[in-house]
Amino acid sequence: MATRIGMEVSIAAAEAVKQANVDIIAAYPITPQTHIVEHLSELVNNGELDAEFVPVESEHSAMSVCSGSSAVGARTFTCTSSQGLALMSEIVYAVSSLRLPMLMILANRSLNSPLSIWNDHSDVMSIRDCGWIQLFVDNGQEVYDHVFIGFRVAEDRNVLTPFIINLDGFVLTHVIEPIEMLDQKVVDRYLPPYQPLYRLHPDHPVSMGCFGPPVLFTEAKKAQDEAMNKTMPYIIQGWQEFGDLTGRYYHPVETHETEEAKIIVVTQGSLGETASIAIDTMREEDEPVGLVKIRLWRPFPFEEFEEAVKGAELLVVMDRAISYGGPGGPLAGEIRSALYHQERHPRVVNFIIGLGGRDVAPDDFAQMVQQAKARPGEWYEIYGVRE
Amino acid sequence: MDTYLDRLGVYAARLVPQKEYLVPGHRACQGCAEVLALRLVAKVLGRNNIIASATGCMEIVSSPLPLTSWDVPWIHVAFENTAAVASGIEAGLKALMRKGRLPKQKITVMGMAGDGGTSDIGVQALSGAMERGHNFVYVCFDNEAYMNTGIQRSSATPFGASTTTSPAGKVVPGQTTWKKNMPEICAAHNIPYVATACPSYPFDLMEKVKKAADIEGPAYIHILSVCPTGWRLAPELAIHAGRLAVETGVFPLYEVERGKYKLSVDLPELRPVEEYLKIQGRFRHLTPELIDKIQQRVQEEYTKLKKKVQMTNEG
Ligand SMILES: Cc1ncc(C[n+]2csc(CCOP(=O)(O)OP(=O)(O)O)c2C)c(N)n1
Ligand code: SF4
């Protein structure tokens, strides 16, 4: 039966990867992702996980090893953060175009410079358009669960798209939380071994990664875009079946106190947990505020989002990354364009917060909501800057 | 000691496998010795082979969608990561066979790249893969420049050669550095097999590929691949130029098997390098002094190599 134990979130993630019975792990150390792969290499070297652990010489090679192993049909895992993601990004784009399923856990951390090992979302936002399914989790249980969900969806023959789980560095990776582990039998039922549609094997030679002349390139890209949009029902199905087995149901967009809410705070990742505390306090003070957490980032859940913010007059959107010289943070930009077709859409105010590990407390949310109410129009602001 | 000519007698054309795995219809230039070398390598590695290819001439000429020249499984991911992709293929197959999800069978894994993809941008991934000891064959097709992007210099471009980024100018006469010694760099990784080859010596090349495939662990073959386009050479001279490279000592053929050096063609006397240089447009501007300088260097390197043969075979 399922048991609940206190565990560091990174260790829980690694335990899930073990239970998913991966065949290959390739990774290169970078804080705050390290505990995940350290634990995995221990599991491999102790014979608790039958997998090849390939200790590569760089993240670029980690992702390249993953491309080769996924291409031969092996269940493939990697993990990185920040500069590591930036270094591997060339190949991150290549594997999704090659339709090679794999799972990557991204322990989110800011990008240089100044050098910071702490959390924000500037790393993942730099590869927003990389063609992977991408989602955010709020806590350790969600990371653990999404390892199974991620592999299951990525390897589905109707999907064949790599999958990124974003979890906030340190504030999640390094904390101890109660985790309900799944019985191995449940995992095996939910996640059968990967059956590739095409694989590199001499019995059926295929060419992968050919060169695309102009007459075909656009068509290939259109097919990729359509395939990405078609992943949505399989992601939802993956969540549904996971929920039926475990009682834990997930959704593209998750809401807290949104009924009758005139003001909605929008977050991604672990900030949602802090925000919900603030929302509860504000509700007690009769502020009509609710919370919408964007779990699924790609494909973007346009319909679900619209439904979730229906009736709101003001959206207060929290970004943990800056789009320099742009119209605000990447999440706010996305949300504005998601609502653009509506005749009357809510006012969108954007705060950029929590950069490079800057703490965000419940009180900050109350303040941001007050500021957004007080000032008219649509704008963005980097919150809490000491002048 | 057997010489190349002795060994030639052992072979007859009909003993060469007829089956092509790089099938006709590719788009390489006329007289391209790089594609010839690749074809020979593919013949030897045969059916049970998976190829990871770098970006470069050989990738471009063999895989324009919707066509492919490949009758074996083949993948191209990027320019600099071939050895890492091959590492993943090898490790993936190993895990799947061990776990009983693929039938056990010997499958050779080959990584292939040009001199740029090997000795410049790809050297880190290659070094990592060799150090980790993956069981694969890595083949560098060395045409001595970045041909696919238009004849720019690489670290394997020979001293004095004119390329589009080391043009023979009024002040600087072409490439100013000596060719990076990639086979030596690989040998320094203590891998079980390193060899040089050239398609002008097809049987020698094929024998080395066979050996590399049979050896457990990383094997590296550095193949001098004459490029008529980039070397400014008539297409019909490609094979001849490869022979001159060997006979002048510019590109000696040798093997390093478990640390032991062996010359494949032991030349008591080298032909003057000028014979090799003068047939190529890329060296047209060289003065007699520069040719002398090259001659000296070639002689020194050849002597060094012979010493290594001697030293590693003593006692
Ligand atoms: C990261 C990156 N930088 C640059 C390129 C452009 N590029 C493609 S092939 C190539 C040169 C290939 O030269 P080489 O490896 O010597 O092979 P050849 O074409 O000469 O056979 C370059 C520079 C690239 N594809 N990727
Ligand atoms: S440019 Fe040189 S190497 Fe490339 S296909 Fe033509 S002859 Fe061969």
Tell me what pLDDT residue A185 has: 97
B7: pLDDT strictly greater than 70: no
Chain A residues with CB under 8 Å of B77 CB are 64, 67-68, 91, 94-95, 98, 209
Tell me what pLDDT residue B3 has: 46
Tell whether ligand 2 has an atom less than 6 A from the beta carbon of residue B199: no
CA of A208 to the centre of ligand 1 (A): 18
The ligand placed nearest to the CA atom of residue B62 is 2
Handedness of CA A38, A41, A43, A46 (dihedral sign): negative
Inter-residue contact A90 to A60 (CB < 8 Å) = yes
Which residues, numbered 67 to 96 in chain B, qualify as contacts with chain A under a Cβ-Cβ cut-off of 8 Å? 68, 70-78, 80-81, 84-96
Q: Which residue in B has a C-alpha nearest to residue A92's C-alpha? A: B77
Nearest to B157 by CA among B174, B140, B139: B174
Nearest to A320 by CA among A34, A116, A20, A45: A116
Inter-residue contact A273 to A136 (CB < 8 Å) = no
Tell whether ligand 1 has an atom less than 6 A from the beta carbon of residue B163: no
Nearest to A10 by CA among A182, A177, A152, A248: A177
B13: pLDDT strictly greater than 70: no
Tell me what pLDDT residue B306 has: 97
* Closest Cβ opposite residue B88 in set A68, A193, A209: A68
Confidence of residue B171 (pLDDT cuts 50, 70, 90): very high
Atom number of ligand 2 nearest to Cα B33 = 8
Helix, coil or strand: residue A180: strand
Chain B residues with CB under 8 Å of A69 CB are 88-89, 91-92, 95
Confidence of residue B2 (pLDDT cuts 50, 70, 90): very low
* Closest Cβ opposite residue B128 in set A57, A71, A204: A57
Inter-residue contact A287 to A236 (CB < 8 Å) = no
Tell whether ligand 1 has an atom less than 6 A from the beta carbon of residue B57: yes
Cβ-Cβ contacts under 8 Å between A and B: the total is 171
pLDDT in tens, B104-119: 999 999 999 999 999 9
B128: pLDDT strictly greater than 50: yes
B231: pLDDT strictly greater than 70: yes
Q: Is the backbone of residue B160 left (phi > 0), alpha (psi -120 to 50) or beta? A: left
pLDDT in tens, A218-246: 999 999 999 999 999 999 999 999 999 99
Tell me what pLDDT residue B266 has: 87
Tell whether ligand 2 has an atom less than 6 A from the beta carbon of residue B57: yes
Tell whether ligand 2 has an atom less than 6 A from the beta carbon of residue B230: yes
Looking at residue A54, the DSSP 8-state letter turns out to be E
Burial class (CB within 10 angstroms; exposed 0-12, middle 13-18, buried 19+) of B133 = middle
Q: What is the mean pLDDT of residues B179-197?
A: 98
B315: pLDDT strictly greater than 90: no
Tell me what pLDDT residue B268 has: 87
CA dist., res. A217 & res. B62, Å (int): 17
CA dist., res. B123 & res. B141, Å (int): 14
The ligand placed nearest to the CA atom of residue B147 is 1
Atom number of ligand 1 nearest to Cα B147 = 20
Q: What is the mean pLDDT of residues B14-32?
A: 90
Helix, coil or strand: residue B158: coil
Atom number of ligand 1 nearest to Cα B225 = 21
Q: What is the mean pLDDT of residues B71-94?
A: 98
Tell me what pLDDT residue B5 has: 44
For the stretch A376-381, contacts whose Cβ atoms lie closer than 8 Å and that sit 24 or more positions apart, written own/partner, are A377/A347, A378/A336, A378/A347, A378/A348, A378/A349, A378/A350, A379/A349, A379/A350, A380/A319, A380/A327, A380/A328, A380/A329, A380/A332, A380/A349, A380/A350, A380/A351, A380/A352, A381/A350, A381/A351, A381/A352
Q: What is the mean pLDDT of residues B236-240?
A: 98
pTM > 0.80: yes or no:
yes
B6: pLDDT strictly greater than 80: no
Inter-residue contact B147 to B114 (CB < 8 Å) = yes
pLDDT in tens, chain A (387 residues): 567 999 999 999 999 999 999 999 999 999 999 999 999 999 999 999 999 999 999 999 999 999 999 999 999 999 999 999 999 999 999 999 999 999 999 999 999 999 999 999 999 999 999 999 999 999 999 999 999 999 999 999 999 999 999 999 999 999 999 999 999 999 999 999 999 999 999 999 999 999 999 999 999 999 999 999 999 999 999 999 999 999 999 999 999 999 999 999 999 999 999 999 999 999 999 999 999 999 999 999 999 999 999 999 999 999 999 999 999 999 999 999 999 999 999 999 999 999 999 999 999 999 999 999 999 999 999 999 998
Tell me what pLDDT residue B16 has: 80
Burial class (CB within 10 angstroms; exposed 0-12, middle 13-18, buried 19+) of B186 = buried
Q: What is the mean pLDDT of residues B143-155?
A: 98
> Mind giving me the DSSP string for B66-123?
T---BSS-EEE--SS-HHHHHHHHHHHHHHHHHTTSS-----EEEEEEEHIIIIITTH
Place of tokens 């478990």: B258
